[in-house]
Amino acid sequence: MYKTEILYEPLPIGRIGVRRDNEEVVIAKDFSCFAHMLEEYICFGVVGIVMPKSAPEITTFEQMPSLLRKQIRVVDDENEIETMKRLLFNLRKEFSVKISENDQHLIFSKDTPSEIVQRIDKVHADVKKIAIGFNKHIQIEINPEKSIGNFRYLREKSCDAQVRVILAQLESLLRLYGDVVFNAPCPPKETPPRELITVFDRLINDQSYLEYSESIFYLSAPENRNKALLKLREFECDIRSKNFVSTGWNYLAKLIKVWSGVPLPNSSEIASIVQGQSLPALVNLQEARLNAIEIWKKSTLTKQPLRRDGQPVTDGEIRWIPPLDSMEVYSPSDNAFSLGKAGDLVEVLRKVADELDDETKDDRA
């Protein structure tokens, strides 16, 4: 039996804090919200989560809840990293970009425009994800429209003919995708993370859910798609009848992007990623991201922001401001995030300044 797996994606959230000793404002990325993403993983029939060996989270793998940890498959992504580095070598060379051997992050010269930095960074991330998705036969999160925009932007900026050819072929690859919609079981939005992990563990041991997962896996292949869609409709009733999914659950239309069946580009460069098999399915987890963040805001996880490797952002004495209602978090295709509206930030910073001032007066007294 084939099973649907998904590539692990971090969920960075912008946080703001104030140092207690000098009232300096600190801005950081917080990665403490991941467990809430399981809700959407269940909707897409996920049985396993694939974490690349190069991911920073690997250092805290043993600290994850055991029920979640056993569903995470760590894979060696060295070949995919090499593919990405080789395909985009001339692009980095043209724009004077170095690549770190330790963690594979890109190093730009100081005078590189920020727009170029963001586009090149995203192109590298997407090429690596496409390679992993294809080689490991798993779902990946990519926004095709934004990725195509990045390829086209850099193609117009490049003066290297080979760079332009490769970017054009990568663009054509993403244009081969079409939409498929199916009904998916959705847990109640207010389900706590620990309960979600337990439900996830029970589902992946249930035959109906495993068959549901297998059908979603087969949506990737054009020749199996109609049969898989028919099976998905049959499994809907079976999964509804399960005791642990009957109360408060609903069925919502979910969309994934899959290979349309149009012949793949005939390219020696692209052949290093695509070798005659189906392209990986693309999913959009933005709705899940928004739901996860709303639940996360009400949890104790907001008290101490965590780095992507699971360690505290800083050891310093910082008063972290609770997430504002006006904050926004975007998809992995975006570098930006919103800490909140200006008026909300001004108000909460003034409040924190007054509270820190009162604490200082109390200490002196």
HEC per residue, the chain: CCCEEEECCCCCEEEEEEECCCCCEEEEEECCCHHHHHHHHHHCCEEEEEEECCCHHHHHHHHCCHHHHCCEEEECCHHHHHHHHHHCHHHHHHCCCEECCCCCCEECCCCCCHHHHHHHHHHHHHHHHHHHHHHHCCEEECCHHHHHHHHHHHHHHCCCHHHHHHHHHHHHHHCCEEEEEEEEEECCCCCCHHHHHHHHHHHCCCHHHHHHHHHHHHCCCHHHHHHHHHHHHHHHHHHHCCHHHHCCCEEEEEEEEEECCCCCCCCCCHHHCCCCCCCCCEECCHHHHHHHHHHHHCCHHHCCCECCCCCECCCCCEEECCCCCCCECCCCCCCCCECCCHHHHHHHHHHHHHHHHHHHHHHHC
CA distances from 333 to 121, 221, 336 (A): 10, 25, 9
287 has a pLDDT exceeding 90: no
Residue 20 confidence (pLDDT) above 60:
yes
pLDDT (0 to 100) of residue 297: 79
> Tokens standing for 174?
């993403």
- Inter-axis angle of helices 144-157 and 114-136, nearest 10: 130
pLDDT (tens digit, 9 = 90+) per residue, 321-358?
888 877 776 655 555 567 778 888 888 888 888 877 76
Q: What percent of the chain has pLDDT over 90?
A: 27
Query: Around 168, how many Cα atoms within 13 Å sit in the side-chain half-sphere?
Result: 12
Give the pLDDT confidence of 261-283 residue by residue, as tens digits. Answer: 887 777 777 776 766 567 889 98
pLDDT surpasses 90 at 97:
yes
Better-predicted residue by pLDDT, 306 or 52: 52
Q: What are the structural domain ranges in the chain? A: 4-297
Given this model, what pLDDT does residue 1 score?
63
Between 246 and 84, the more confident residue is 84
Per-residue pLDDT for 140 more than 70? yes
> Which pLDDT score is estimated for 124?
94
The two three-digit tokens of residue 120, written as one number: 């090149």
The predicted structure's pLDDT at residue 75: 92
Measure the CA–CA gap between 335 and 118, rounded to whole angstroms. Answer: 7
**Residue 53 in this model has a pLDDT that exceeds 60:** yes
Residue pLDDT, tens place only, 178-202:
999 988 877 776 677 677 778 888 8
What b-and-e string marks burial along 272-309, b requiring 16 or more CB atoms within 10 Å of the CB?
A: ebbeeebbbbbbbbbebbebbbebbbeeebbeebbbbe
pLDDT at 243 over 70: no
The confidence score (pLDDT) of residue 304 equals: 80
Two tokens at 341?
């509206």
Q: Structure pTM?
A: 0.79
Across the chain, mean pLDDT equals: 82
